[in-house]
Amino acid sequence: MRFTRDHRDRKELGRAAALILALFAVLLPATAALAQDAAAPKIDTGDTAWMLAASALVLFMTPGLAFFYGGMVRKKNVLGTMMHSFVAMGVLSIVWAVAGYSLAFGGAGPYIGNLEFAGLAGVGEAPGPAATIPHSVFMIYQCMFFIITPALFSGAIAERMKFSSYLIVLVGWALTAYVAICHMVWDSDGMLFKEGAMDFAGGTVVHVNAAVAAAVLVWMLGKRRDFPREITAPHNLPFAVLGTGMLWFGWFGFNAGSALAANGLAGTAFMNTNLGAAAAASAWMFWEWVRRGKPTALGFMSGAVAGLVIITPACGFVTPMGAIALCTIGGIICFEAVALRARKQVDDSLDVLGVHGVGGTLGAILVGFFSSKAINPAGKDGIFFGGGWDVVGVQAKGVLITVVVSAVATFVLAKIVDLTIGLRVAEEDESVGLDLSQHGEVGYT
């Protein structure tokens, strides 16, 4: 009897052990999955809140650009010039959602993305390229760069380009030159990204890219009808001052937001952005004072924008003193570039080449001298911190590729437009002004 009971007990123990083993067989994978979930990146509300604010700050820069450019043209062209920036906010937001974002950040190619995210498929609340913010937040932040970049080159063609032609070039260039350089520099599968090119917030992607397009369009359009015979002084300099303030303010989202988190690197980029703008504005003002006898408001504003451009690729890689040195040098060089443009009578209406082209190139290349891994371990030590010339070489390669891609894309697009509907307004329309001839209204009565 005892044997039977013991045997039964052993059988029950065996069943119990089998049940426990079966339970473990079910639970262990689930536990592993839970462990994986725990290790997976989580949405950080602080990072998300900062990136939403940074997105709004970058969008605010485009109206700032509209006031900056609008104040510097003649009063008969103020609305037409401001529309160049504002229309980008509307049209390019849709283009980005439909195809632009996917071409910039979709797929795994070295040169351009695919249509994986076309129509924002798969872009939702889960993390995307940035691990601690929703994919949708990363997408909308990058959208603001897509909007303002082609609007920058409108300053070079002010007062003489058809609005319809501008719209076609705006969209076409954004879907070719911009998405290609953006993918190569900022996507983890991009060619220049893999080679270690340092562009924290858009020296090549934004400023050099847009400036090259400006140069090609200036060459293809030719000079304004009355340039340089007629004085084309800013019709409303306070507009330009206001626009500069809006740009300076919004640029903190542009640069510090590129850390993609509310962290120490964002703080460094924020600090360097302010120091860079201050250094270049001051350098430009004092240099102009020495060279021309008076410090002008327009000079100070131009210097501030030049400083913001110069520090953009470097803000997350350099020390505060490096930011000041870099932008002091750059402010003086940009002043001389603008002065040279005036002497050569190149009709870059609002000095996109001297400020964004020269400034963006300086920032992109000189970061190879001033960068420090102590500031950003993801970067490289520049020449002044023990790095080799290969660091500068990669930066120069990024600038060169940007120049080639942007020049070819702009020329092909502009040539097609010129052969079909024409790039330039009629002489009579230019004389009347773009406000009336292109939009049927005037800025002032």
How many Cβ atoms sit within 10 Å of the Cβ of residue 101? 26
Global pTM? Answer: 0.90
Q: Give the pLDDT band of residue 231 (cuts 50, 70, 90).
A: low
Instruction: Write out pLDDT tens, residues 123-139.
Output: 999 999 999 999 999 99
pLDDT over 50 (residue 180): yes
CA-CA distance, 185 to 191, in Å (whole number)?
7
- Under DSSP, is residue 130 helix (H, G, I), strand (E, B) or coil? coil
Mean pLDDT of 220-235: 88
CA-CA distance, 29 to 35, in Å (whole number)?
10
pLDDT of residue 40: 55
pLDDT of residue 260: 98
Q: Supply φ then ψ for residue 161, to 5 degrees.
A: -105, 140
CA-CA distance, 187 to 194, in Å (whole number)?
9
Residue whose C-alpha is closest to residue 199's, from 365, 41, 19: 365
Query: What is the separation, in whole angstroms, between the first and last Cα of the chain?
Result: 114
25: its two tokens = 């067989």
pLDDT of residue 232: 75
pLDDT of residue 445: 86
DSSP one-letter string for 392-412 = HHHHHHHHHHHHHHHHHHHHH
pLDDT over 70 (residue 185): yes
Over the chain, what is the mean pLDDT? 92
- Higher model confidence: residue 51 or residue 227? 51
- Under DSSP, is residue 161 helix (H, G, I), strand (E, B) or coil? strand
154: its two tokens = 């409108």
pLDDT over 50 (residue 57): yes
Domains, the chain: 45-433 (1.10.3430.10)
- Report the alpha-carbon angle 96-355-363, nearest 5: 80
pLDDT over 60 (residue 193): yes
CA-CA distance, 275 to 278, in Å (whole number)?
5
CA 204 distance to own-chain centroid: 9
CA-CA distance, 224 to 72, in Å (whole number)?
15
CA-CA distance, 78 to 387, in Å (whole number)?
48
pLDDT over 70 (residue 10): no
Q: Give the pLDDT band of residue 11 (cuts 50, 70, 90).
A: low
Q: Is the backbone of residue 183 left (phi > 0), alpha (psi -120 to 50) or beta?
A: alpha
Instruction: Write out pLDDT tens, residues 382-413.
Output: 999 999 999 999 999 999 999 999 999 999 99
In b/e form, how buried is each residue of 53-83, taking b as 16+ CB within 10 angstroms? ebbebbbbbbbbbbbbbbbbbbebbbbbbbb
Residue whose C-alpha is closest to residue 330's, from 353, 348, 352, 303: 303
pLDDT over 50 (residue 16): no
CA-CA distance, 29 to 163, in Å (whole number)?
61
Q: Which residues pair with 161 in a beta bridge?
A: 424
The CA–CA distances, whole Å, from 327 to 72, 149, 245 equal 24, 21, 18
CA-CA distance, 68 to 60, in Å (whole number)?
13
Q: Give the pLDDT band of residue 8 (cuts 50, 70, 90).
A: very low
pLDDT over 50 (residue 12): no
pLDDT of residue 228: 85
376: its two tokens = 């950003």
Q: Which residues pair with 318 in a beta bridge?
A: 371
Q: Which residues pair with 371 in a beta bridge?
A: 318
